[in-house]
Amino acid sequence: MSEHPLVKEWLSQLQANGYRITHARRVIVEELVKSQKALEPVDLFTICRKKDPALGLVTIYRTLDQLDQLGLIQRVHQADGCHTVMRKQNGHEHLLVCTSCGRTVTFCGDNFESLSSKVASETGFAVSDHMLQFFGICPECQGQKDGAN
């Protein structure tokens, strides 16, 4: 039952921002932090319910809002929308998403500084951010016919 180090970190962040550390939040944070796939609110709900059968879906939405405001999670882009979230990568790390099973891994992307300033000067935009994602099929899904869930 080794606990992911990020759990403590996230809970501290919540506390430092005036939020109480509740059972519901603890469960949600634990599952979010350790998930290898981007999750829809309902997925997360189903998973967390196993640890806390009384948990409500509303609490999932509310907690996700809070974590988002603290910049701890990010929406993951997929062909059919951005309904899934995952812990936010830092700096130059980006997501590689399996379009079959949803599993993700991170990779270190190029340095976008030069491209960013080039684009800025060409367009007049004040460029502040970028998002890069790769899509593909993970090794497991390449082997077996259907994506392992």
Binding positions for a second copy, rule: CB under 8 A:
75, 77, 79, 81-83, 96, 98-99, 105, 107, 109-110, 115-116, 119-120, 122-139, 142
State whether residue 125 is helix, strand or coil. Answer: coil
104-108/73-78 β-pairing: unpaired
State the number of CA atoms in the 13 A half-sphere of 81 facing the CB.
Answer: 4
- Of 102 and 138, the one with the shorter C-beta distance to DNA is 102
CB of 84 to a second copy, least distance (A): 11
CB of 26 to a second copy, least distance (A): 26
Q: From CA 146, how far away is CA 100, in angstroms rounded?
A: 8
CB of 121 to a second copy, least distance (A): 11
- Of 68 and 88, the one with the shorter C-beta distance to DNA is 68
Q: What is the DSSP string of 10-51?
A: HHHHHHHTT----HHHHHHHHHHHH-SB-B-HHHHHHHHHTT
Summarize as ranges the residues that interact with DNA (CB under 7 A): 15, 18-25, 40-42, 52, 54-59, 61-63, 65, 83
For residue 53, give Cα distances in angstroms to 27, 40, 60, 121, 149. 11, 18, 13, 54, 22
- Residue 88 contact among DNA, a second copy, none, beta carbon within 5 to 8 Å by kind: none
CB of 17 to a second copy, least distance (A): 19
- Residue 42 contact among a second copy, DNA, none, beta carbon within 5 to 8 Å by kind: DNA
